[in-house]
Chains A and B, each alone.
Chain A
Amino acid sequence: MADDRQKDDITGVETTGHEWDGIRELNNPLPRWWLYILYASCAFALLYWVLYPSWPGVSDHSKGVLGWTRHATLDAEITAAKAKQSAYVEKIAALPMAEVANDPELLTFANAGGRSAFGLNCAQCHGSGAAGGKGYPNLNDDDWVWGGTLDAIEATIRYGIRSAHPETRQNDMPAFGVDEILTAEQINDVAEHVLALSQSATDPAAAERGAPLFAEQCAACHGERGEGNTELGAPKLSDALWLYGGDKADVVASIAAARRGVMPAWIGRLDDATIKQLALYIHSLGGGE
């Protein structure tokens, strides 16, 4: 081989022999350490292909001899997290609600767990801040259709409202208009009377006419002055809060067709401890009795 190698005068390094516009390129080989890292990386990749899932196939992929999967890792992490929580969860499941509420440590855990379960199961209807909406009760306030004590809230969550469960919260307000129990004028009068209970009537004369009708048809459940009855799930009518709206049209619609809102029973879907944590969380939102 003819020795036509050229050296650069300044650096003493060999050139590649290529020249562009008088510029010649030094032939500096890759540093050894760099090459070794490259080789090590190649070896690592080969080993990885054997050990771990890596190659895509048509309908599946190579599994790797270790049998490692992300799902298994996740399952293990969830199991580990559950094991960590189990000390608290088991206590909450075993103790009556009042005792859980009196244990600050358990209560803190239950509130956090309840918040998380609420976001997963309840927020769809009641809203992420539990502020509800028309037809979906606001759980922050002090107005409870079926009662706001810890036990009442727990029972409501457990068995639902008008759900398929035999122990469900259940009542049946007649649809006074649809079932033709009252005429349209009578419904108008009763509605005015109901609004008058919270000092928001628009037609005092109609409200006056509605009074006997209310006493006859409504007072049995809602009370003579509309104070409601949580035993029967009859809403309080004399306060400032309206689950289905407090405009006259809303009230008329409620009387004429009845509302009959539904909440599923969570027993069977959620375990006992989760239901208790949910009840404690909702009770802590500010309206708990």
Chain B
Amino acid sequence: MDRLVIDEPVEAVNSREQRSFYKKRVAIHPKLVFGRYRQIKWVALVVLLAIYYLVPWLRYDRGPNAPDQAVLVDIPGRRFYFFFIEIWPQEVYYWTGLLIVAAVGLFFVSSLFGRVWCGYACPQTVWTDLFIYVERVFEGDRNARIRLAAAPWGFGKLARKSAKHAVWLAIGLVTGGAWVFYFADAPSLFGDLIAGQASLGAYLTIAILTGTTYVFAGFAREQICTYVCPYARFQAAMFDEDTMLVSYQAARGEPRAKHKKGEPWEGRGHCIDCGQCVAVCPTGIDIRHGQQMECITCALCIDACNGVMDKVGLPRGLIRYDTLRNMQVRAAGQRPHIKLFRRRTLVYAAILFAVLAAILTGLFSRADLEVTVQRDRNPAFVTLSNGDIRNGYTLKVLNKSHESRVLSLSVSNLPDARLEVLGQKGLELEARPAQIESFRVFVQAPRQALEKNSTAFAFVLRDPVSATEAEHDAVFMAPRR
């Protein structure tokens, strides 16, 4: 055998030229590859899946009146728990902040290193990777899979295929199963699920997510990235000539040609056209065509090419993470350098830090006592027999602590006002732990004390134990003079 590297008879089936609206999808059978980026992807896969599957089972002690699940989205109770953070529905803007951080964080990373999210961390990539691993266990590597796909149906094929699909469905089931544990106490929900006692919603959610996992990672795969995902379409807007992208060094590689052992390298490019980079590509493209929309920058082609370069005795890096500028610099024979601090990255970083700072400041300075006020509109005011004016209010008291509290109610900026809380004597409001309490409050003021038909004042709630105060603006209405 004269050649060190086995040629792969491959076609970049998903590249733009090969993809016709009138043509059916051609199945992609990515080949197993070894190398640094494959290693990183395996580690990322294990870590990310571990996070996804195990986080609902983490416990975090919040004291007697709260759940002990570290991460819990309690929809019936209207709470989101994340370790020491507890978010109420009134604070949904933290979610908004988090979404902004996620979006800008994505822009930031993309402008620096391209689509690393797509290549390493996106669930579609992680689960597809896992499903391809399962496929490889039962059906062998690329060439074996191609042969099996073309083979007539028989017992062996049926057995391999059904084993693969069974494992895929099991993974899908566990994936959907893990999802519902984020929304209820995981251990008790697990017991209920096994015993058939859980809610229909839980079973439906698991069924749907089992289906989507099975279909997306088993069958749709790169089509999700190519056709469905919007990020593939606007990614180019974050790239510039200094973004690190998976790039084929055309200046070094071309003109490409087959190479036999011992042949000289003069007068030709370093690409031996072995097709390995195409064979390992999970999205079915040829990176040598340059940067393209279908590429998720998983960098497996880098591993493949580096392996080939080692075998033929050439330096690594014919396909490498590189910037557009550096590719030109290299072609001109100068020293490349990486420019991380650019206007674009600085602006993204600034937005990122500003929003993060706002969220954290909000989180750590927020009060655990809040009051909101709704004034009666019908009637706007009531004249009493002694001529005083009375307004009615509904006060919602948010006690965000996990202790019962007794709060004293008063008003400010309303002279001679008398307060009455419906259904009780005195102005001590009892608030249960981590609850919203509702109180009907009547405020009465002498006609003479009211200069205008609308007087602004404030309700003040004071917790004498923790010496905290909560205030809310209100308006007192009176008939026109």
A interface residues with partner B (beta carbon < 8 Å): 10-13, 104, 107, 127-131, 138, 140-143, 236, 239-241, 284, 286-287
| In contact, B22 and A241 (Cβ under 8 angstroms) | no
With contact pairs A11-B22, A284-B440 given, residues A143 and B422 touching in the complex (Cβ less than 8 Å): no
B379 interface residue (CB < 8 Å to A)? yes
| In contact, A286 and B385 (Cβ under 8 angstroms) | no
| In contact, B382 and A140 (Cβ under 8 angstroms) | yes
Chain A, residue nearest B379 (CB)? A131
Q: How far is the CA of A240 from the CA of B387 in the complex (A)?
A: 5
| In contact, B378 and A240 (Cβ under 8 angstroms) | no
Within the complex, what minimum Cβ distance (angstroms) separates A101 from chain B? 8
| In contact, A104 and B423 (Cβ under 8 angstroms) | yes
| In contact, B382 and A141 (Cβ under 8 angstroms) | yes
Within the complex, what minimum Cβ distance (angstroms) separates A266 from chain B? 23
Q: Which of B385, B386, B422, B440 has the most CB of A within 10 A?
A: B385
B442 interface residue (CB < 8 Å to A)? yes
Q: Which of A11, A127, A128, A240 has the most CB of B within 10 A?
A: A240
Q: Which of B370-424 contact A (CB under 8 A)?
A: 376-379, 382-387, 390, 392, 422-423
Q: List the A side residues contacting B378 at CB < 8 Å.
A: 127-129, 131
| In contact, B385 and A240 (Cβ under 8 angstroms) | yes
Given A140-B382, A236-B385, A240-B386, 14 further pairs, Cβ under 8 A: A11-B22, A13-B22, A104-B423, A107-B423, A127-B378, A129-B379, A138-B379, A140-B392, A141-B382, A141-B390, A142-B384, A143-B385, A240-B387, A286-B422
Within the complex, what minimum Cβ distance (angstroms) separates A287 from chain B? 8
| In contact, B383 and A141 (Cβ under 8 angstroms) | yes
Q: How large is the interface on B (under 10, 10 to 19, 20 to 34, 35 or more residues)?
A: 10 to 19
Q: Which of B378, B379, B387, B392 has the most CB of A within 10 A?
A: B379
| In contact, A286 and B392 (Cβ under 8 angstroms) | yes
Q: List the B side residues contacting A104 at CB < 8 Å.
A: 423
Q: How far is the CA of A13 from the CA of B390 in the complex (A)?
A: 81
Within the complex, what minimum Cβ distance (angstroms) separates A120 from chain B? 16
With contact pairs A131-B379, A286-B442 given, residues A141 and B384 touching in the complex (Cβ less than 8 Å): yes
| In contact, A10 and B440 (Cβ under 8 angstroms) | no
Q: List the A side residues contacting B390 at CB < 8 Å.
A: 140-141, 286
Chain A, residue nearest B378 (CB)? A129
| In contact, B22 and A239 (Cβ under 8 angstroms) | no
Within the complex, what minimum Cβ distance (angstroms) separates B367 from chain A? 27
| In contact, B385 and A239 (Cβ under 8 angstroms) | yes
With contact pairs A10-B22, A11-B22, A240-B387 given, residues A284 and B382 touching in the complex (Cβ less than 8 Å): no
Q: List the B side residues contacting A127 at CB < 8 Å.
A: 378-379
Within the complex, what minimum Cβ distance (angstroms) separates B175 from chain A? 27
Q: List the A side residues contacting B386 at CB < 8 Å.
A: 239-240
Within the complex, what minimum Cβ distance (angstroms) separates B53 from chain A? 36
A-B contact pairs, 11 of them (CB 8 A): A13-B22, A129-B376, A129-B378, A131-B378, A141-B384, A141-B385, A143-B385, A240-B385, A240-B387, A241-B384, A287-B382
With contact pairs A286-B392, A286-B442 given, residues A140 and B379 touching in the complex (Cβ less than 8 Å): yes
Q: List the A side residues contacting B440 at CB < 8 Å.
A: 284
Q: List the A side residues contacting B22 at CB < 8 Å.
A: 10-13
Q: How far is the CA of A240 from the CA of B447 in the complex (A)?
A: 11
Q: How far is the CA of A240 from the CA of B422 in the complex (A)?
A: 24
Q: How far is the CA of A9 from the CA of B418 in the complex (A)?
A: 90
Chain B, residue nearest A8 (CB)? B22
Q: How far is the CA of A284 from the CA of B440 in the complex (A)?
A: 9
Chain B, residue nearest A138 (CB)? B382
Q: How far is the CA of A142 from the CA of B387 in the complex (A)?
A: 11
